[in-house]
Structure 1
């Protein structure tokens, strides 16, 4: 292990244990006491707040520090972190939007001069597009803090007051969702965050412990409650549109003339996204199943027809 890596791991280790002895560190990192003492001296110079304690039970202790996050990264790791942060900028809503802007600024400002130059050179050569981020969800931070605090909430959901206890948050098809325990229905339900207009802490004293509840397990349960079989017929142009614009979530078979058929299984939360998607493909996509998706497409087309019919009459 190189010295730089050892110092980084040592910093993380002592910040976690808070109180330690030199002999314990030497054993943990398989080095001599003298090496550990030199490493601790270097960490102290770098700003890690260490104090020594004398006596039989003495040793070293790390003072409580809120900013002990200065970790050394390789160039490749730095690039990975920077571009992971950069990918979030396309989300219309984030749980910590203002904090995100501050984080990426601090991260960039703390790079050394050479690394800044390299980031500047390539940051305009790569980007991430988050498609269909069309719905703003201003209450994500409140929902997220309730998840962390295992707190029940009251919400105004499409104008109706509900009491829920959030499990977590996830984003799919341009919308944020909050799987939660619904006290009215006595079961887990899926709530669209952009449909929540008000929020507050609930006064309930019968909250349940969801700290160990796995978000993905709940998502799987909720999204599998209403499965639909998807069958869509595509023209050759539709096949090309599908292959070029969407990750291949669903199986597609293509005949010798270029016509295709999409088949797969979809959940209820995908219906809105697929309605808009297949409408924009026009006559090149014909939804055969499910009937629920066909009904949504028909309804939206009629709404558009009424809208433009009214505009046409005004022009006459």
Structure 2
């Protein structure tokens, strides 16, 4: 046991706190005097250490009485890992790379991790980390709007659970495969039950999520995320231009999160501009068809053709 090897010599605080975590995680119940003897420090030092561990998130409760002491509540919250100086630098390097994202799947937890990790460093290491923060930075271009539902999408992917989503105001039933970020935008590759194939959904366009009661869900745990991503992101990007009547402008604003720029003239007519991928042609054909005569797709031609094909198929049904 490392504590036995280090007895008789002075542990630095960071090492002692880490060894204290390991020890109390193993014994689960303990007394302050026993810890003081085990770590060859004063009772006051152990009390200060326990207070700091509690601040860092280790769930401790005290028990009164003759047989009282302390008890650890939940093992899952304990960090039983020590890091070298270089490992510590690399962890903060990775954390710094995330700070400019306007949305993260676990944003509050991310901030909590940085705070706890920083508090657990000794004074010299904190000074060096502060130096790192002033020597390196990351900039993320082309960031889209916030994606507030990243956590829910991620947890659904982990649990292999289908969801109902509202995608630009249109309901879709999907089964998320995971998340990935490119050029500051978050994407959720998912199996679309309507089209019976994998589709790429931009997370900032998802405004609502609710659970699906679907029983015949597909098994995605063996599906490789990178393979699906590579097959989807290689699809061509198109420039989107759509002309809206004044009624179309109002309809668009009332049903769709504002993911595209709309320019308006003095008479209230509008033009929507943006970009869409090849995998979204089918979706946007359905979307703009619902707006009827209030919307006219100018570009891309592929979207215009898909809308015409859908109209022809509908007309054949009602012949």
Tell me which interval the TM-score lies in, with the shorter structure as reference length.
0.5 to 0.7
CA shift, 1:205, in A, is 0.9
What are the Cα deviations for residues 279-309 of structure 1, in whole angstroms up to 9, with x where unaligned? Answer: xxxxxxxxxxxxxxxx67xxxxxxxxxxxxx
CA shift, 1:204, in A, is 0.8
CA shift, 1:171, in A, is 0.7
The equivalent residue for 1:206 is: 216
The equivalent residue for 2:128 is: 118
| Residue aligned with 1:49, SS | helix
Distance in 1 (alpha carbons) for counterparts of 2:229 and 2:148: 22
Out of 166, 177, 181, the position equivalent to 1:167 is 177
Out of 156, 160, 164, the position equivalent to 1:150 is 160
Distance in 1 (alpha carbons) for counterparts of 2:73 and 2:159: 26
The equivalent residue for 2:253 is: none
CA shift, 1:99, in A, is 0.9
Distance in 2 (alpha carbons) for counterparts of 1:172 and 1:178: 11
The equivalent residue for 2:25 is: 48
Q: Supply the RMSD in Å over aligned alpha carbons.
A: 3.2
The equivalent residue for 2:83 is: 73
The equivalent residue for 2:54 is: none
User: What does 1:232-243 correspond to in 2, within 5 Å?
Assistant: none
CA shift, 1:202, in A, is 0.5
Structure 1, gaps ≥5 residues long? 8-41, 52-61, 229-266, 272-294, 297-316
Total equivalences in the alignment: 188
Distance in 1 (alpha carbons) for counterparts of 2:23 and 2:155: 33
The equivalent residue for 1:220 is: 230
TM score, norm. by length of structure 2: 0.53
Out of 179, 191, 194, the position equivalent to 2:204 is 194
Distance in 2 (alpha carbons) for counterparts of 1:111 and 1:212: 39
- The answer as to whether partners of 1:165 and 1:180 remain within 8 angstroms in 2 is yes
| Residue aligned with 1:88, SS | coil
Distance in 2 (alpha carbons) for counterparts of 1:148 and 1:208: 13
What are the Cα deviations for residues 214-236 of structure 1, in whole angstroms up to 9, with x where unaligned? Answer: 11011122233x358xxxxxxxx
| Residue aligned with 1:203, SS | coil
Distance in 2 (alpha carbons) for counterparts of 1:132 and 1:48: 45
- The answer as to whether partners of 1:173 and 1:270 remain within 8 angstroms in 2 is no
- The answer as to whether partners of 2:179 and 2:189 remain within 8 angstroms in 1 is yes
Distance in 1 (alpha carbons) for counterparts of 2:228 and 2:174: 14
Distance in 2 (alpha carbons) for counterparts of 1:157 and 1:177: 12
| Residue aligned with 2:75, SS | coil
Structure 1 runs of 4+ aligned residues shifted over 2 Å read 42-48, 267-271
What are the Cα deviations for residues 232-268 of structure 1, in whole angstroms up to 9, with x where unaligned? Answer: xxxxxxxxxxxxxxxxxxxxxxxxxxxxxxxxxxx94
| Residue aligned with 1:206, SS | coil
Out of 87, 91, 95, the position equivalent to 2:101 is 91
TM score, norm. by length of structure 1: 0.54
Distance in 2 (alpha carbons) for counterparts of 1:114 and 1:213: 45
